[in-house]
């Protein structure tokens, strides 16, 4: 056994989840989360929901996994996923079990992936763009192992996407869903002051910003000109998100859109305390503050992971990158449950904008233009 793996087994034993009972012939799907980890109620939880809940029919708790009844398993599946699944439905995938490792720091990514390979998983998932380097390195070192990378393609030294024969990657056109968020913010604001709060200022999160500001300009040019954009610099510090949001709301912002991982939980908490609106991200976050979460820009990582797990169980694998946007059902808005003046007209406007994006009549930018008049 290699020294690195020996050290890893000792170092990671305390954070390994108890494995689900294994039956003969079962295949294991392994997951390495990014540092946001389980419980972020956003991106990582979406991926785990698709694998553990929808595909495997399991719920994870302090005592490990427990089986879900069929009504329990299907209770959390959104209507749009059921609709997209069509006649095939969303059946439990037989002969599948999850094995999840939560990275505590970026240094964990490669060793955790190596541990999954040592367990002979049918598919090793890296959740989040921050695992791109680790997945690329381990895929090259382990050409017989199949990998799935979520939120980034594999990139060469010049930053250009490349295809490895044992890696499938999934990316999303976040800017398209964020365009609808911006349009909604422009219609819902009463103060005319809106804000975007990002985590790390990287191209992925800038796609959220770009789409948001473009959609805002489509429905409220004045608010777009005064939009406030701030980045916390992290994805795993809810207190940082809360501090930024508290200052924004104190300054008159009445709608904020957060794309900041666990930092975004702090933004939602600040909105709840201030009695203002916030838009969640990745998963439907309305349960965190029902009176404040206007909607959430959903990335259906859950459905994408479910489909990948189903394919892995059947021995299917398609290397290369797949990009999912509004047309493919990869992004969208959660139900808008809060009433505000002009809501009915706003919903009609959003439906028209969504149709125009899908039809190619609106091209949503993926890179933000410089702000004309707003503090950064």
Task: Give residue 375's pLDDT band: very low, low, confident or very high (50, 70, 90).
Answer: very low
Token representation of residue 12: 């990671």
Q: What is the pLDDT of residues 156-194, one digit of tens each?
A: 988 899 999 999 999 999 999 999 999 999 999 999 999
Same CATH topology for 3-172+302-324 and 174-299+341-358: the answer is yes
> What CATH number was assigned to the domain covering residues 174-299+341-358?
3.40.50.2300
Strands 147-150 and 167-172, sheet pairing? parallel
Residue 10, pLDDT > 70, answer: no
Task: Give residue 332's pLDDT band: very low, low, confident or very high (50, 70, 90).
Answer: very high
Q: Nearest CA to 236 among 39, 55, 18? A: 39
Mean of pLDDT over the chain: 91
The span from the CA of 294 to the CA of 308, in Å, is 31
pLDDT at 25: 73
Task: Give residue 227's pLDDT band: very low, low, confident or very high (50, 70, 90).
Answer: very high
What pTM, to 2 d.p., does this model score?
0.85
H/E run at residue 267: helix 263-274
pLDDT at 305: 95
Residue 352, pLDDT > 60, answer: yes
Q: What is the pLDDT of residues 65-92, one digit of tens each?
A: 999 999 999 998 888 888 888 878 899 9
Q: What is the pLDDT of residues 235-253, one digit of tens each?
A: 989 999 999 999 999 999 9
Please report, for the chain, the start and end positions of each structural domain, with discontinuous segments joined by +. 3-172+302-324, 174-299+341-358
Contact 308, 325 (CB under 8 A): no
Residue 296, pLDDT > 90, answer: yes
- Alpha-helix residue ranges (DSSP H) falling in 314-361: 343-358
pLDDT at 376: 40
pLDDT at 85: 86
Q: Which residues contact 110 (CB under 8 A, 6 or more apart)?
A: 134, 137, 138
> What CATH number was assigned to the domain covering residues 3-172+302-324?
3.40.50.2300
pLDDT at 16: 52
Residue 110, pLDDT > 90, answer: yes
Residue 273, pLDDT > 50, answer: yes
Residue 9, pLDDT > 60, answer: no
Residue 127, pLDDT > 80, answer: yes
């Amino acid at each position: 056994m290699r020294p690195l793996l020996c050290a890893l087994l000792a170092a990671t034993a305390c954070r390994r989840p108890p494995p689900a009972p294994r039956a003969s012939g079962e295949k294991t799907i392994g997951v390495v989360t990014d540092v946001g980890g389980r419980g972020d109620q956003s991106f990582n939880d979406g991926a785990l929901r698709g694998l553990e809940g929808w595909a495997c029919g399991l719920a994870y708790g302090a005592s490990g996994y427990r089986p879900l009844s069929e009504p329990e398993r299907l209770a959390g599946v959104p209507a749009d996923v059921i609709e997209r699944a069509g006649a095939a439905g969303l059946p439990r995938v037989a002969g599948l079990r999850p094995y999840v490792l939560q990275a505590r720091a970026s240094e964990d990514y490669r060793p955790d992936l190596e541990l999954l390979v040592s367990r002979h998983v049918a598919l090793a998932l890296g959740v989040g763009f921050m695992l791109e380097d680790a997945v690329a390195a381990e895929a090259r070192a382990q050409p017989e192992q199949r990998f799935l990378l979520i939120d980034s393609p594999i990139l060469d030294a010049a930053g250009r996407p490349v295809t490895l024969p044992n890696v499938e990657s999934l990316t999303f056109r976040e800017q398209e869903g964020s365009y609808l968020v911006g349009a909604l913010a422009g219609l819902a604001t009463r103060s005319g002051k809106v804000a975007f709060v990002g985590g790390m200022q990287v191209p992925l999160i800038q796609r959220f910003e770009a789409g948001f500001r473009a959609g805002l300009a489509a429905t409220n040019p004045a608010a777009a000109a005064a939009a406030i954009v701030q980045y916390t610099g992290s994805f795993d510090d809810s207190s940082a998100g809360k501090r930024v949001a508290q200052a924004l709301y104190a300054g008159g912002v009445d709608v904020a859109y957060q794309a900041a991982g666990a930092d975004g939980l702090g933004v939602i908490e600040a909105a709840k305390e201030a009695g203002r609106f916030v838009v969640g991200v990745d998963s439907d976050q309305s349960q965190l503050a029902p009176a404040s979460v206007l909607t959430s820009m959903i990335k259906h990582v859950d459905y994408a992971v479910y489909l990948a797990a189903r394919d892995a169980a059947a021995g299917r694998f398609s290397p290369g990158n797949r990009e999912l946007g509004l047309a493919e059902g990869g992004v969208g808005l959660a139900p808008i449950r809060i009433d505000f003046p002009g809501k009915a007209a706003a919903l009609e406007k959003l439906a028209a904008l969504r149709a125009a994006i899908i039809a190619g009549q609106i091209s949503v930018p993926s890179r933000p233009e410089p702000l004309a008049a707003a503090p950064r």
